[in-house]
Structure 1
């Protein structure tokens, strides 16, 4: 898998590069600012990019803004935000693209390397992977006309776990229910959100998660 890494901290950037290469990922570029990130994505068209939120010059939200700009130049380019901070303003712009291929994990909550790499693969394949704390802060911005109003509390719980990138079997283990029960909830979520079978299950899953995160 071909990867671009963007983080202004040299030690973290170098550490990510070494980690990825150890697991046979190909690092195409490792950069330290937003402008270089946009250029790297436009030039290399990576399978996925790992992007920090706060980069030079103001160390506020340059990484997110650069990711949004890069996806406008290379539509649907997969991006995994990896940061210490939750910045919701430009996260909304990332989520506005219904193609998915977006993740947002918090550095200090990544406890397992294999889970992190699995998350990268999910995003690269068009899925979504969000830390529960990121989801919680996005939910604070819930709109008055909530498209999820028709969902039951259990369906919202299932959809929240889908937003974390969990598969149906993993959701079943988390909620201590059968795979069949999870599938029933997922089908109901799709129906209530108006997501039709001809869209394909993977695409419907991404659309449902994006609706949840934007609502």
Structure 2
């Protein structure tokens, strides 16, 4: 089966794209999948996380990593997908050319949205790129409190816009930041915690949508 490609995209910075890429990659690798990570964000946050991970764990963790942009993007993506089950692309904000390439290549676009009006408004350009490239998009409520009127208003507005919402949502949990600082995932640092349970549920939902066989 050819590698499935998940692009994480959002035009607004600070939406949690890099954390999502790292946490999902670790969860899938621990489930026995061969996972590739492609960082096309010039900021290089995913590269910094991966460097910490290599220092702590060495090479044998089921993850492959490449940082690329511009003309190298397509070549590196082809190289990763050749021997991986799944490739995650961490895309930059405000770089339409690279984002369009990453969206076009993807089997699914994951669009994180924090429960704020600014994030809601910033989502439209990303969804429009996905629509133009004919790539399916899934919106994820990220860093959301357990309950609250604003969360429900944002959710209702997204539904009214006709977007597809992930069944799983992620809470605003310090465990994610703590794991990132160690070059790890929450499924490693706090495997029985709520954050790990949320990531596991999201990974399972995305795997089903991508048509991946059960691990």
TM range (shorter): 0.3 to 0.5
Instruction: Provide TM-score, normalisation by structure 2.
Output: 0.41
Instruction: Provide TM-score, normalisation by structure 1.
Output: 0.41
Q: Which has the higher helix share?
A: 1
